[in-house]
């Protein structure tokens, strides 16, 4: 049963997500905030929140500023998530998201994170070693803090897979490039991250499929290419599926990609067919963009989203 499977998420560069709603936001002008909220965030933290809501036992680790952990500790306590974060000197960064709910546009302002020292990194690897005794899946997600070796995801994947555990990776840039050679089980670049990885624009579906196939040929079991409103392509060595979402009002893009990763991991653990994994992952993502609250909605709402996802075999 899925509730017997424990999942760990790793967030090297968490953030306090400060979401500010400004109707008709204009850069360079005086803008008035209609409402605001702050949530514990970062890609791996978001994944943990979604999967905890779905009924899984979750552990979290990564680097967390010792001076402002309270929002994170409250979230982990509320959702019964095991907190294995390594506390480091300084503050966890803030990420500001300005949402124009009239034009459905989001402006991101991301601060850099604190740099962990060598002892912090060693402590993290020790925490991963201990978590691998009980956690069957690991989700490594998000950017890496300034000053951290871009090989860190590759090294973490090697340490985890050496224990026979599965790894889902959601990152970008040089850290993604270096990590894919260690063959994580699952990766989810968006179309722009895939273009950066391949070094070429991908203007047709055939080009996207070809780029994803090269990753599969390298030993990765599943590749998801997210394409915003155009849906997402889910690929394994045996199947190619396009999941197209219905059109819904976009209230927030915060955590949409993280939700998709969460749904896919949940589907893989439940051993669902790829089409059903894609449907579930897309429903998770729809739930993130159609509401401003953190975490998953009730199951009835989630099932309604699932029923509206169109699955096409490519």
How many Å apart are CA 43 and CA 60, to the nearest integer? Answer: 11
Question: Do 153 and 175 meet the contact criterion of CB atoms below 8 Å apart?
Answer: yes
Question: Do 271 and 245 meet the contact criterion of CB atoms below 8 Å apart?
Answer: no
Question: Do 216 and 253 meet the contact criterion of CB atoms below 8 Å apart?
Answer: no
- Provide φ and ψ at 8, rounded to 5°: -115, 140
Whether 53 sits among the annotated catalytic residues: the reply is no
Catalytic residue among 53, 101, 170, 258: 258
For residue 278, the Cα-to-chain-centroid distance in whole angstroms is 15
**Backbone region of residue 28 per phi and psi (left: phi > 0; alpha: psi in -120 to 50; beta: other values):** left
Question: Do 282 and 309 meet the contact criterion of CB atoms below 8 Å apart?
Answer: yes
Q: Could you list the active site residues?
A: 258
């Amino acid at each position: 049963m899925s509730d017997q499977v424990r999942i760990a998420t790793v967030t090297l560069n968490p953030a306090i997500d400060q979401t500010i709603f400004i109707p008709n936001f204009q850069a360079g002008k005086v803008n008035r905030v209609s409402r605001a909220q702050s949530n514990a965030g970062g890609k791996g933290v978001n994944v943990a929140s979604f999967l905890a809501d779905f009924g899984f036992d979750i552990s979290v680790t990564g680097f967390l500023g010792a001076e402002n952990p309270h929002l994170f500790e409250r979230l982990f306590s509320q959702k019964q998530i095991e907190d294995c974060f390594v506390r480091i000197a300084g503050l966890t960064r803030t990420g500001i998201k300005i949402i124009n709910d009239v034009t459905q546009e989001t402006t991101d302002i991301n601060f850099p994170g604190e740099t962990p020292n060598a002892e912090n990194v060693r402590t993290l690897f020790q925490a991963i070693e201990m978590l691998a005794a009980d956690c069957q899946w690991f989700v490594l997600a998000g950017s890496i803090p300034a000053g951290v070796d871009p090989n860190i995801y590759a090294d973490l994947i090697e340490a985890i897979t050496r224990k026979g555990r599965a790894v889902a990776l959601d990152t970008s840039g040089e850290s993604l490039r270096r990590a894919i050679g260690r063959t994580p089980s699952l990766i989810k670049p968006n179309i722009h991250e895939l273009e950066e990885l391949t070094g070429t624009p991908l203007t047709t579906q055939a080009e996207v499929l070809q780029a994803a196939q090269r990753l599969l040929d390298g030993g990765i079991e599943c590749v998801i290419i997210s394409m915003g409103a155009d849906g997402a392509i889910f690929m394994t060595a045996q199947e190619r599926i396009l999941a197209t979402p219905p059109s819904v009002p976009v209230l927030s893009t915060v955590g949409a990609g993280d939700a998709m990763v969460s749904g896919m991991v949940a589907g893989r653990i439940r051993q669902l067919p790829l089409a059903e994994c894609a449907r579930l992952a897309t429903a998770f993502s729809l739930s993130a963009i159609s509401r401003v609250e953190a975490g998953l909605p009730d199951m009835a709402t989630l099932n309604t989203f699932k029923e509206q996802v169109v699955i096409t075999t490519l």
